[in-house]
């Protein structure tokens, strides 16, 4: 950085309005910020600690709402922020307050953490939000840092694992690594730990092809949590869409993220980011003024058309980003492209994606955001996963998205849990899930990999807790167990929580392995919650969003081999027989070329008849698939008591039996085969002439 004793002067001949953010151009830095309603924008330069403001200088030019200027000699490492002038008219949606230091929405790296103080509010706390606060908030705000984008990616290239070969592992950077004995202690909780030999070896052993990370964009630890001694562990409170969360970086520098991704790629593992573009950390009109609200509240946020003083909240967090505004849409698209092109990530899971498709008339599958991604030559080629709901009217949209999006399928979760809980009448529903949920997804030229299948995710019970608790136990969250939902579809199998009863433990292991087999043997894309392959528990907490401690961290020393060995066998089998297909299956006689043939079989022998589907007590049935250019695969599920299953004619090879301590099998069978209680069998072979 240059000597900053004297205020630097802008070079008006070099500055550019087309590059938003702070872009180092080799000999200086171009600064550009969008604000449609501002009257003046001050760039604030700080010392390297971010504690001492050295200069305030007005950005000299504005075009189309973009304020910009080029400073020669300002190089990577320079710490900065903005103060934006304009009308303070909350009833018109404007909340400009130049006393508040604001974070650049395009910041690539942050210095410092939020220190909660009333001065972070644009209004006077204790009065209503129409009041005006004159205190300087700079001492309590993180600042942006100019970065050098250069990085030696060596020969790193996008892996592009086909969807039908993908197995996703939903994980938390800290939770996955904090208690792993094979991760160096100094690297735990960071990207270095994430890309450690120990973690990569576990992913390989488990058969994982992609790791989906809970939010790693810089996020805020909400004030109400900090004051209760808790924190925003999950990270769904974004402060910056470009900068990584600093505590996940051992050195605080973004190159650590690149190093981790490069190392994971060399191991053949894709990196997918859970991204939160539906809202920000600033909350509703009573929240803080830290970035977007002070830069241009009326542009960045969706406001009530009847009273712009208030936000239009479809996320349950207090605010909603205004994706209908072209410059807000551009910011999100720029962020996505940055993470793909500069950081080499392989895809995104969009939190509350229905919010991103909200147009004036409600959710629109052909809304501006989705259409922008579909036509983008960079983004349309990466993995795109929607969480297809929000809390607004018409927000539940499972199956409502267009290619190339895939979707989290909570119907799969609920039906699978209910079937294995032995709820009556679930056989038709589970058949739907095993075949890729065609009712939801077999339309609009969508592939059979459109459904992301899971039985547990970060939000809710872990899989082990699903078989260990009848009720949630969220007391540690400090909300008197009122938080978290009650729709767990769980069954403690005889004891609430941990137990030494061998019978209960055996039943839990059986059911967990059967549910994991359902995920990994179904058409679609399987997703496993990190720790479910180890039998990990959160002590019955189904809303551990604020638990940055052993409740949420994976306890590797308690890993259950009887679960992990089953997962390894199932992922290996899935890949070995090329089980997943890109086309939905069809009944014999209806299948087209390269389309799987599916037959549903009754335990007595032969195909399921119409009356069988209405038998509410039928809990054992089979799915025979004749795969194009592959073997016949027979999946038999039994959620009931021990049963006998009459196999189709021909020789079969039993490859998987989840009731066995060693689930991977390799033995010929024919005629009738026993199907133990609460188990899944996978067989290969059959008489092709009968298919």
**Secondary structure class of 411 (helix, strand, coil):** helix
**How many Å apart are CA 597 and CA 584, to the nearest integer?**
9
Continuous H helices in 69-125 = none
| Residues 6+ positions from 251 with CB-CB distance below 8 Å | none
187 is catalytic: no
Q: Whose CA is closest to 314, among 301, 325, 327, 326?
A: 301
The backbone torsions φ and ψ at residue 314, rounded to the nearest 5 degrees and listed phi first, read: -110, 5
- Say how many Å lie between the first and final Cα of the chain, rounded: 72
- Enumerate the H helices of 312-409 as residue ranges: 326-341, 353-356, 368-375
SS3 of 130-186: the string is CCCCCCCCHHHCCEEECCCCCCCCCCCCCCCCCHHHCCEEEECHHHHHCCCCCCCHH
Chain center to CA of 173: 12
What is the spatial distance between Cα 421 and Cα 361, in angstroms, rounded to a whole number? 40
Task: Specify the pairing of strand 525-529 against strand 451-453.
Answer: parallel
Which listed residue (23, 296, 346, 387) is catalytic? 387
**Which is the catalytic residue, given 129, 270, 285, 351?**
351
- Nearest Cα neighbor of 236 from 550, 613, 545, 633 is 545
Question: Residue 509's closest CA among 466, 447, 480?
Answer: 466
Give the 3-state secondary structure of residue 520.
helix
Contacts of 393 (CB under 8 A, 6+ apart): 362
Chain CA centroid to CA 363, Å: 21
Burial 240-278 (b: 16+ CB within 10 A, else e): bbbbbbbbbbeeebbbbbbbbbbbbbeeebbbbbbbbbb
Strands 406-409 and 383-386: parallel
> Which residues, 6+ apart, have CB-to-CB distance to 312 below 8 Å?
302, 303, 304, 305, 320
Residue 23 known to be catalytic: no
Catalytic residues: 351, 387
């Amino acid at each position: 950085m240059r000597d900053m004793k004297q205020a630097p002067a802008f070079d008006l001949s070099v500055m550019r309005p087309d590059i938003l953010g702070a872009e180092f151009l080799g000999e200086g830095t171009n600064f550009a910020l969008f604000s449609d309603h501002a009257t003046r924008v001050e760039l604030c330069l700080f010392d390297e600690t971010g504690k001492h403001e050295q200069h305030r200088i007005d950005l000299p030019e504005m075009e189309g709402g973009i304020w910009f200027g080029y400073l020669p000699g300002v190089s990577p490492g320079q710490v900065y922020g903005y103060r934006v002038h304009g009308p303070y008219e909350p009833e018109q949606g404007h909340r400009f307050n130049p006393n508040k230091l604001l974070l650049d929405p395009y910041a690539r790296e942050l210095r410092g953490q939020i220190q909660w103080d009333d001065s972070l509010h644009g209004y006077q706390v204790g009065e209503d939000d129409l009041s005006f606060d004159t205190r300087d908030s700079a001492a309590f705000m993180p600042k942006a840092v100019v970065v050098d984008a250069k990085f030696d990616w060596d020969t790193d290239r996008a892996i592009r694992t086909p969807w039908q070969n993908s197995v996703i592992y939903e994980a938390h950077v800290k939770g996955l690594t904090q208690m792993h004995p094979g991760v160096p202690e100094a690297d735990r909780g960071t990207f270095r730990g994430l890309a450690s030999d120990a973690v990569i070896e576990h992913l390989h052993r488990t058969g994982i092809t992609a790791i989906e990370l809970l939010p790693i964009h810089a996020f805020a630890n909400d004030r109400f949590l900090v004051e209760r001694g808790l924190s925003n562990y999950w990270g769904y409170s974004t402060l910056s869409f470009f900068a990584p969360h600093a505590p996940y970086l051992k050195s605080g520098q973004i190159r650590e993220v690149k190093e981790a991704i490069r190392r994971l790629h060399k191991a053949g593992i894709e990196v997918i980011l859970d991204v939160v573009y539906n809202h920000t950390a600033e909350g509703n009109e009573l929240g803080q003024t830290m970035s977007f609200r002070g830069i241009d509240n009326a542009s960045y946020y969706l406001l009530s058309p009847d009273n712009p003083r208030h936000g239009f909240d479809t996320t349950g967090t207090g605010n909603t980003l205004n994706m209908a505004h072209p410059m807000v849409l551009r910011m999100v698209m720029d962020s996505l492209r940055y993470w793909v092109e500069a950081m080499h990530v392989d895809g995104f899971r969009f939190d509350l994606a229905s919010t991103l498709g909200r147009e004036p008339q409600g959710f629109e599958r052909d809304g501006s955001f989705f259409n922008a991604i579909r036509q983008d030559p960079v983004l349309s080629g990466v993995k795109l996963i929607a969480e297809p709901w929000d809390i607004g009217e018409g927000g539940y949209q499972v199956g409502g998205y267009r290619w190339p999006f895939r979707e989290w399928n909570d119907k799969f979760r609920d039906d699978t849990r209910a079937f294995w809980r032995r709820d009556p009448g679930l056989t038709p529903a589970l058949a739907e899930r095993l075949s890729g949920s065609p009712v939801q997804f077999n339309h609009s030229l969508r592939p059979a990999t459109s459904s992301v299948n899971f039985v547990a995710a970060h939000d809710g019970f872990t899989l082990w807790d699903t078989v260990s608790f009848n009720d949630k136990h969220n007391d540690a969250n400090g909300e008197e167990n009122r938080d978290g939902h009650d729709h767990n579809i769980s069954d403690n199998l005889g004891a609430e929580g941990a137990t030494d009863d061998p019978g209960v433990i055996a039943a839990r292991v059986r059911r967990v392995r059967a549910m994991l087999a359902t995920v990994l043997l179904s058409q679609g894309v399987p997703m496993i919650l990190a720790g479910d392959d180890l039998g990990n528990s959160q002590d019955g907490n189904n809303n551990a969003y604020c638990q940055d401690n052993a409740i949420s961290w994976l306890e590797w020393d308690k890993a259950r081999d009887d679960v992990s060995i089953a997962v390894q066998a199932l992922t290996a089998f899935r890949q070995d027989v090329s089980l997943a297909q890109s086309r939905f299956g069809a009944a014999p006689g209806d299948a087209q070329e390269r389309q799987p043939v599916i037959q549903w079989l009754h335990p007595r022998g032969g195909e399921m008849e119409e009356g069988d589907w209405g038998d509410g007590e039928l809990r054992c049935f089979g799915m025979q698939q004749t795969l194009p250019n592959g073997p016949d695969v027979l999946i038999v599920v039994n959620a009931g008591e021990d049963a006998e299953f009459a196999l189709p004619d021909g020789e079969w090879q039993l490859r998987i039996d989840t009731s066995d301590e060693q689930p991977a099998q390799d033995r010929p069978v024919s005629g009738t085969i026993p199907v133990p209680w609460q188990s899944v069998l996978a067989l290969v072979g059959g008489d092709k002439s009968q298919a």
